[in-house]
């Protein structure tokens, strides 16, 4: 048993990277109590809003003989409007001391699909870096609020853009299409690495980052670790190339662990030298 979900995985990875982090969100019932206890036992600071309904349990079935896994996700809790208002108040309070706020994961049922977009807009007004990692309509609506960074995986990005990505050119066009919708920077994560569009001042740079080939134990949460490592490096002022190299190495190292958000820093350091970072030209026309 492990406290999880995109936001918690990212918080766990940031903690391991030595980046101060506070996890927040909605927790309810006995499962919610276990989530808080688990994070506290890992020394991950947290400040959640308690809700009446029970937090869900999801099960990841990892096949030890092949790099595949099956996720079995329970139906999530119902959230009342007043509980959501409490979360927005909590975000406003916690953001006072934050350099960045990461919005991650699917929205609970009955929550308006514009929730992330409105929350991103409010945090942007405070001059704080906003990061969005979601899917479907919450991602589509959230991107329009101009977050500093969006980080969908390939399937989520394809759904947002409306086409499949096969060649490098497809990824470049996908990056640019997402940026045109409002995101200042874009990371499209894959198990094999990532594609990125990153802006330095007013110039956009496009990158392909290839991870070294390894035998993964479990890829659950590897994209969350990649995002956390990139954000940690960005906040330290590292160059885009170094940030991407370290992020992909850390995400790859996490595939050698069972348990989302976990990795061995020594393994990440070892893998970093084998990560290939290439800057790509924009597609002509």
Q: What does the pLDDT look like over 176-190, one tens digit per residue? A: 999 999 999 999 999
CA dihedral 135, 136, 140, 146 (to 10 degrees): -10
**Residues sharing a CB contact under 8 Å with residue 59, sequence separation 6 or more, in sequence order:** 71, 72
The confidence score (pLDDT) of residue 168 equals 93
What element of type H or E holds 104?
strand 100-104
The confidence score (pLDDT) of residue 187 equals 97
User: Max alpha carbon distance in the chain (Å)?
Assistant: 56
Helix (H/G/I), strand (E/B), else coil: 62: strand
Ranges of residues in the chain whose predicted pLDDT is under 50: none
Q: Could you tell me the pTM of the whole model?
A: 0.94
Q: If you compute the radius of gyration of the chain from its CA atoms, what whole number of angstroms results? A: 18
Whole-angstrom Cα distance, residue 221 to residue 13?
Answer: 10
Whole-angstrom Cα distance, residue 264 to residue 275?
Answer: 16
Span 6-280: which CATH code? 3.40.1190.20
The confidence score (pLDDT) of residue 285 equals 61
The confidence score (pLDDT) of residue 284 equals 72
Phi, psi of 62 (to 5 degrees): -100, 130
């Amino acid at each position: 048993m492990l406290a999880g979900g995109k936001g918690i995985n990212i918080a766990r990875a940031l903690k391991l990277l030595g980046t101060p982090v506070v996890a927040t969100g909605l927790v309810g019932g006995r499962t919610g109590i276990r989530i808080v206890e688990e994070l506290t036992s890992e020394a991950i600071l947290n400040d959640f809003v308690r809700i009446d309904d029970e937090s869900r349990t999801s099960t990841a079935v990892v096949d030890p003989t092949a790099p595949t896994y099956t996720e079995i996700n329970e139906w999530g809790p119902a959230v009342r409007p007043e509980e959501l208002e409490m979360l927005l108040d909590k975000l406003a309070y916690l953001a006072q001391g934050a350099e960045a706020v990461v919005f991650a994961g699917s929205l609970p049922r009955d929550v308006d699909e514009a929730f992330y977009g409105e929350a991103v807009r409010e945090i942007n007004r405070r001059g704080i870096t906003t990061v969005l990692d979601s899917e479907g309509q919450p991602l589509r609506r959230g991107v329009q609020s101009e977050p500093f960074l969006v980080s969908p995986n390939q399937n989520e990005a394809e759904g947002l853009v409306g086409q499949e990505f096969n060649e490098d050119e497809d990824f470049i066009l996908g990056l640019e299409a997402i940026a045109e919708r409002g995101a200042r920077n874009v990371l499209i994560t894959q198990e094999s690495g990532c594609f990125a569009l990153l802006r330095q001042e007013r110039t956009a740079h496009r990158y392909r980052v290839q991870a070294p080939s390894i035998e993964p134990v479990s890829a659950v949460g590897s994209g969350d670790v990649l995002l956390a490592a990139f954000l940690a490096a960005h906040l330290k002022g590292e160059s885009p190339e170094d940030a991407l190299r370290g992020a992909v190495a850390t995400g790859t190292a996490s595939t050698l662990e069972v348990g989302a958000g976990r990795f061995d820093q020594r393994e990440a350091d070892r893998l970093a030298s084998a990560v290939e970072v290439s800057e790509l030209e924009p597609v002509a026309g």
